[in-house]
A and B are shown apart, each in its own frame.
Chain A
Amino acid sequence: MNAWLIGALALLAGAFAPAALLTARGEPTDRLIGLEIGGVVVVLFLLLLIQGLGQPSYLIVPLVTVLVSFAGTLVFTRLLAPTADER
């Protein structure tokens, strides 16, 4: 166990858990904010985990995660926008 793995554990317990809780309750838009925070926290968690394990070849995973979570969240914002008859 080194400092990087301890940091990764702290992010998992202290930041990803609240984000998951935000994603699990409330209005759809509240959940979307939880999803955004969770997406960012997962990327940082992966960075620390990879550093702690000493496997820089895995860095492709957070790199792809950043790009895919950005696009995915934008799709959610598009789907959550009210349609003409809903207004």
Chain B
Amino acid sequence: MTGPAHIAALVCETAGTAVVVASALAALAMRRAYNRLHFLTPVTSLGAPLIAVALVLENGWGLTAGLDILIVLLLALSAPALGAATARVLAQRAGLIDEDSPS
């Protein structure tokens, strides 16, 4: 496939891949776990949607694009829940909150 849509797809794919790689390397550089946890968000809130846009531009509307969007949507929804659960465990292990406190 060629044309402007293909070029736009490659631009979005490159940008999305760059965001994901930069976030993973930044997470590696962080010392504290709480800081590291923040770098999951750019991956699922910016990198993944950019890659999804690239795939939709490349494939056009259809079942493949629909599955790509569904997968990235599930990523974007599950990551905050995982982040919150992990932060809660970090706080519990540090003794900042009790295990049975709801907040």
Contacts and interface: CB of A to CB of B under 8 A. Distances in A.
Interface of A: 3-4, 7, 10-11, 14-16, 18-19, 21-22, 27, 29-30, 32-34, 36-37, 40-41, 43-44, 47-48, 51, 56, 59, 62-63, 66-67, 70, 73-74, 77, 80-84, 87
Tell me the dominant secondary structure on chain B's binding face: helix
* Range of interface residues on B (Cβ < 8 Å): 35 or more
A15 B70 contact: no
A65 B51 CA distance: 17
Given A14-B25, A44-B51, A59-B68, A37 B40 contact: yes
Contact of B78 (A11, A66, A77): A66
Contacts, number: 144
A66 B36 contact: no
Given A33-B40, A37-B43, 4 more contacts: A7-B14, A11-B21, A18-B27, A40-B40
A82 B39 CA distance: 25
A36 B80 CA distance: 11
A30 B36 contact: yes
